[in-house]
Amino acid sequence: MEITNDPIHDTSEKDQIPGEQVSGKPVNSVLKQAAKYRSTITSASLMVPESRTIARLLLKDGGSDWRNHIVVNNVLQIRSSRAALSIAQVLRARLRLMGPELLDMVISGTRDTATHACFAAAIKHSALLGDYLDLVLREKYRLFVPKLRPGDWSRYIDDCRARDPEMAVWAESTVLRLRWVVHDMLAEMGYIDSTRSLRLHSVRVVPDVLRYLENEQEHYVLKCITVCP
């Protein structure tokens, strides 16, 4: 399978969110590509049905004729062309990091299998998501803390900035949006029961996804997704 780049709409390098502001400036004028932590996930949570569609396109023709699929044919069935492109860019950037076997799970797997496969791709695509699992949730589980706290996310963002001097200083609205997207993913996976209560639960990742990650030596993703004791 060869996945091609659309030079006009590809986000594999910049993954910028149209219109996003970072301390009053456009994100692409501030955010450096060297940054480990980026705000690339603000446009889309897991979006499993849409991810199935994107995975089909990637397996079918490597993502060629991308704009025609997304805008002209409106395969995601999203009214706004701009929103459709923004969402499609994020989903493609995640899924193209994984091999055909995982894409098949996204396309043909049960709801749980597809969800866990999409989440694995999201972790690989976003260190902001992966490290939140590895550093924050892992500690909660270890100490038997029953739920996340509202201030956990803000402290985590501050800690990320301390670890990554190239990380952009995001507007508060972006930080809040990132928190919502990440917590929405955690709720869809079952790590928390809802984005409101933030009560923690154990999650058992489906064996097919675990086996893929082990076979492909996706050690970081495997460590993050199996954060539950």
Residue type, 101: E
Comparing 101 with 3, which gets the higher pLDDT? 101
> Which CATH number does the domain housing residue 150 bear?
1.10.3540.10
Name the residue range of residue 186's domain.
33-225
Q: Is the dihedral of CA 204, 208, 209, 213 positive or negative?
A: positive
Q: What percent of the chain is modeled with pLDDT above 70?
A: 84
Tell me the whole-structure pTM to 2 decimals: 0.85
φ and ψ at 124, to 5 degrees?
-65, -35
pLDDT band at 6 (very low <50, low <70, confident <90, very high): very low
Task: Identify whether 1 is part of a domain.
Answer: no
The string of pLDDT tens digits covering residues 147-181 is 999 899 999 999 999 999 999 999 999 999 999 99
- Radius of gyration over every alpha carbon of the chain, rounded to an integer in angstroms: 17
Question: Is residue 103 a contact partner of residue 190, using CB atoms and an 8 Å limit?
Answer: no
User: For residues 134-167, b (16+ Cβ closer than 10 Å) or e, as one string?
Assistant: bebbbebeeeeeeebeeebbeebbeebbeebeeb
What's the DSSP call for residue 225?
H
SS3 percent helix, strand, coil of the chain, rounded to 5, is 55, 5, 40
Task: Say how many domains are in the chain.
Answer: 1
Task: Identify whether 3 is part of a domain.
Answer: no
Task: Identify whether 14 is part of a domain.
Answer: no
